[in-house]
Chains A and B, each alone.
Chain A
């Protein structure tokens, strides 16, 4: 047996777990031929040692290698078995299942102090989007339960609500991506169950406010969001409602370049009121 034949036998044996040990046992004519060659060949003996080292490493690494088709199979599984995500479901125009545990409520928030502020900014956005997503789910699920003649009207209203909430979500991402983005937590003034968040950019003047716990006001009244800069309170806009979520998104000239302490609030006012001096139901400062 020459060098080439010996190395072929060694390489093929090294492919199988324990294959080299079996070959070196020398209990077959082929193994005896290999052993005979190795006894007088330094380079093939060195090759045997190299194969012992390398085959174990290669076997371990290749077994830990992700199957290339697993990604497609995983995505297919999620499409088949996963919950319908709000915006994906909205664009597809289908009813959705409720989200899993924890999806229905606003995510916890942490005061923006000290070293936690960097994380808090991201988490505030996370909480806002999770809150909006929950409202979309509630909107679609509620409509899916409606039967009879009202279904068309309900579907039309659902579509409007979902579109509006999608706009709010998109705007939240856009504003949060601004380098000067600021988050403000709103808290209920007399009702601790009220909760809200604002994200805004003084540079672009874009602002998003969402609030939970408010109920739609009686006819003739509205919840009005406002901003107070330098002691002067200015109207932002009327809060819209979409299944347990009150929201407003758009441009606010009053926050342009704002660097001094700014206070935001939401007040229940008569729609004909021209002033904003009523007691706020939600308030927060940056």
Chain B
């Protein structure tokens, strides 16, 4: 619908294709929106397992109820985020938890103006938490660029380094626990962890400070110490 024309890449058009039975269209919509939904739900719940379940439920709802999406009343991103937010809050209520204090950005779609999001949430009585305003656009853009660089760097790591770094940061496992989980010697875990950190530093050096002159890449010979 760009420039008044039918645009086959438009979300609403892809939803149509999905409603007609196209799983490829569903995958396209997942690729476009799942990352943002997962991040928003994680910020709300501070639980990756819950965020995974909510993402699955949100896309199941999209598949089952595509006909109820009305592109004239809002974007698909807003619609999906509203579904995910409601599912997340339901889960938190079920276990007697309050949502985390999050910025308004976590409760609104990526393309939604914060003031409009606040009005929408207030009108529905779904404002459940609040915090200081989110970053200004320039800061937010820089943060997004850093986030992309970080995720690309992790994706490009050798598999054994990526596994240790994700277990450490995502699951809070200690080096000893990672060694037990993977069945690797503790020295190997430490060496691969430091290599992974050094790669991140290489990629994100500008963001995280100057690279030390005497930094060296841990070598394989030290893996099993």
Interface residues of A (CB under 8 A from B): 3-4, 7-8, 11-12, 15-17, 43, 46-47, 49-50, 53-54, 57-59, 61-67, 70-71, 73-75, 77-78, 81-83, 85-91, 99-103, 107-108, 110, 116-123, 125-126, 129-130, 133, 169, 173, 176-179, 181
**Min CB distance, B223 to chain A, in Å?**
14
B165 nearest in chain A by CB position: A62
Give the size of the chain B interface in residues (CB under 8 angstroms). 69
Contact B71 A119 (CB under 8 A): yes
Q: Tell me if A46 and B209 are in contact (CB < 8 A).
A: yes
From the candidates B17, B48, B209, name the one contacting A50 in the complex (CB within 8 A).
B209
Are the CB atoms of A65 and B60 closer together than 8 Å?
Answer: no
- Whether, in the assembled complex, B224 has its beta carbon less than 8 Å from a beta carbon of chain A, the answer is no
Chain B residues with CB under 8 Å of A50's CB are: 208-209
A58 touches B72 (CB 8 A): no
Q: Which residues of B contact A70 (CB under 8 A)?
A: 34, 38, 52, 55-56
Q: How far is the CB of A124 from chain B (nearest CB, A)?
A: 11
Q: Are B60 and A87 in contact (CB under 8 A)?
A: no
Contact of B52 among A57, A67, A75, A78 (CB under 8 A): A67
List 14 interface pairs A-B (beta carbons < 8 Å), by A numbering: A54-B208, A57-B208, A63-B170, A71-B34, A74-B59, A77-B60, A85-B20, A88-B21, A100-B64, A102-B65, A102-B68, A103-B68, A107-B67, A126-B12
Closest beta carbon of chain B to A196's beta carbon, Å = 18
Minimum C-beta distance from B91 to chain A (A): 16
- List residues of chain B with CB under 8 Å of any chain A CB: 1, 4-6, 8, 10, 12-13, 15-23, 26-27, 30-31, 34-35, 38-39, 42-43, 48, 52, 55-56, 59-60, 63-68, 70-72, 146-147, 150-151, 154, 165-166, 168-170, 172, 174-175, 190, 193-194, 197, 200-201, 204, 207-209, 212, 214-216
Q: Is the CB of A62 within 8 A of B71?
A: no
Contact of B65 among A43, A62, A101 (CB under 8 A): A101
| CA of A54 to CA of B21, assembled, Å | 45
Instruction: Write out the residue numbers on chain B whose beta carbons fall within 8 Å of the beta carbon of A17.
Output: 172
Distance, CA A78 to CA B25, complexed state (A) = 13
B150 and A62: CB pair below 8 A? yes
Contacting pair B20 A64 (CB below 8 A): no
Q: Are B6 and A12 in contact (CB under 8 A)?
A: no
Do residues A108 and B70 form an inter-chain contact, with CB atoms below 8 A? yes
B13: chain A residues at CB < 8 Å are 122
CB of A51 to closest CB in B, whole Å:
9
Give the residues in chain B near A59, CB-CB below 8 Å: 169
CB nearest neighbor in B for A50: B209
With a CB–CB cut-off of 8 A, which chain B residues contact A7? 212, 215
Contact A61 B151 (CB under 8 A): yes
Who on chain B is nearest to A102 by CB?
Answer: B68
Let me know if A126 and B16 touch, CB within 8 A: yes
B60 lies within 8 A of A64 (CB): no
In whole angstroms, what is the CA distance A130 to B19 when docked? 8
Whether A82 lies near B63 (C-beta < 8 A) is: yes
B72 cross-chain contacts in A, Cβ below 8 A: 110, 116, 119-120, 123
Q: Please judge, given known A-B contacts A15-B168, A50-B209, A61-B151, whether A8 and B60 are in contact too, CB under 8 Å.
A: no
Beta-carbon nearest neighbor of B72 in chain A: A119
Question: Known: A78-B63, A108-B70. Contact between A179 and B39, CB under 8 A?
Answer: no
Structural contact, A78 and B151, CB atoms closer than 8 A: no
B68 contacts A101, C-beta separation under 8 Å: yes
Verify B169–A63 contact, CB threshold 8 A.
yes
Q: Is the CB of B193 within 8 A of A12?
A: yes
In the complex the two chains form, is A176's CB within 8 Å of B65's CB?
no
- Check A176 against B151 for contact (C-beta < 8 Å): no
Known: A16-B168, A100-B65, A121-B1. 16 other contacts (CB 8 A): A11-B194, A16-B174, A43-B212, A46-B209, A62-B151, A63-B169, A65-B154, A70-B56, A78-B60, A100-B64, A108-B70, A116-B72, A117-B4, A118-B4, A123-B70, A130-B19
With CB as the reference atom, state the residue of chain B lying closest to A3. Answer: B214
The complex places the Cα of A126 from the Cα of B6 at a distance, in Å, of 12
- Nearest Cβ on chain A to B40's Cβ, whole angstroms: 9
A95 CA to B67 CA, complexed, in Å: 20
Which residues of chain A are within 8 angstroms of B19 by Cβ–Cβ distance? 85, 129-130, 133
Chain B residues, Cβ within 8 Å of A73: 52, 56
Identify the closest chain B residue to A179 (Cβ): B5
Query: When the two chains form their complex, are residues A176 and B21 in contact, meaning their CB atoms are under 8 A apart?
Result: no
Question: In the complex, A108 Cα to B222 Cα: how many Å?
Answer: 68
Q: Which residue of B lies closest to A67 (CB)?
A: B52
List of B residues within 8 angstroms of A81 by Cβ: 60
Residues of A within 8 A of B10 (CB): 122
